[in-house]
Amino acid sequence: MQLVFEHLPLYGDCKTVKTLSNETGLWPKKVSDICCRLQTHGFVTRPSLGCYKLTKAGVEARDAGKQMTSGPNKPLTGQRKPPRNRQKLKVWKALRMVRRATVQELMATTGLSGEKAHHNVRQYLNHLSKAGYVQKLPRRSAGSHLTSNGFKVYFLLNDTGPDAPVYSVKYKRLYDPNLNTHIDLGDAN
């Protein structure tokens, strides 16, 4: 990144990707990717297609001797933000709305279907139950068949916020992004 940054013109005409590639010895695709990254940071402008030059901020950064890196902009903490729009987030939001539901009711509310989704929802509710967020009620709701034992009913005890708690299979613990805490579940399956 630094090599391309140093070869960009300070003023006047812009340089094409091909010219920068020849000067730096990098592949044109790599040069283009680096220029796009510099452009998102506001150091480079693209007056025409495939042609780049430094902006005022880029000139100031280059004069100040700022090092350009492709790495992270802040220190890594080991914490990851849970991904959005997942099944578990939908189930968590539905459970927060209704407070008590069966697996089938949650699947109908969230629009999930299939055996795999059913298994995932049931497993997620079991993890929430072991962590103390959800309680399995002793009384089941009526089943759909004559000989059915009924469906387990889950009741939300601990509503900590809008972000769904995430279970880590590797560490066998539940991470709550709302409280920024980890709850150890031991050997939870």
Is 130 within the bounds of a domain? yes
Residue 14 and residue 98 in one domain: no
DSSP annotation of 112: -
Residue 104 and residue 175 in one domain: yes
Range of the domain at 21: 2-63
d(CA 146, CA 150): 10
Residue 97 and residue 172 in one domain: yes
d(CA 138, CA 89): 26
pLDDT tens per residue across span 73-85: 667 666 666 566 5
d(CA 181, CA 171): 13
pLDDT tens per residue across span 111-146: 999 999 999 999 999 999 999 999 999 988 888 888
Is 71 within the bounds of a domain? no
CB 80: neighbour CB atoms within 10 A?
11
In this prediction, residue 13 carries a pLDDT of: 82
Percentage above 70 pLDDT, the chain = 89
Is 69 within the bounds of a domain? no
Name the pLDDT band for 105 (thresholds 50, 70, 90). Answer: very high
Is 80 within the bounds of a domain? no
Residue 113 and residue 50 in one domain: no
Residue 103 and residue 53 in one domain: no
Question: Which of 141, 61, 133 lies closest to 101, judged by CA?
Answer: 141
Q: Give the chain's domain count.
A: 2
Residue 51 and residue 99 in one domain: no
Name the pLDDT band for 156 (thresholds 50, 70, 90). Answer: very high
**Which CATH number does the domain housing residue 104 bear?**
1.10.10.10
Residue 28 and residue 99 in one domain: no
Is 82 within the bounds of a domain? no
What mean pLDDT do residues 7-36 have? 86
pLDDT tens per residue across span 37-91: 888 888 888 888 888 888 888 888 888 888 777 666 667 666 666 566 588 889 9
In this prediction, residue 73 carries a pLDDT of: 64
Is 158 within the bounds of a domain? yes
In this prediction, residue 78 carries a pLDDT of: 67
How much is the pTM? Answer: 0.56
Pick the more confident residue, 169 or 75: 169
d(CA 72, CA 79): 14
Is 78 within the bounds of a domain? no
In this prediction, residue 64 carries a pLDDT of: 84
In this prediction, residue 84 carries a pLDDT of: 60
List phi, psi (to 5°) of 120. -65, -45
Percentage above 90 pLDDT, the chain = 33
Mean pLDDT of the chain: 85
List phi, psi (to 5°) of 2. -65, -35
Residue 101 and residue 164 in one domain: yes
d(CA 10, CA 65): 14
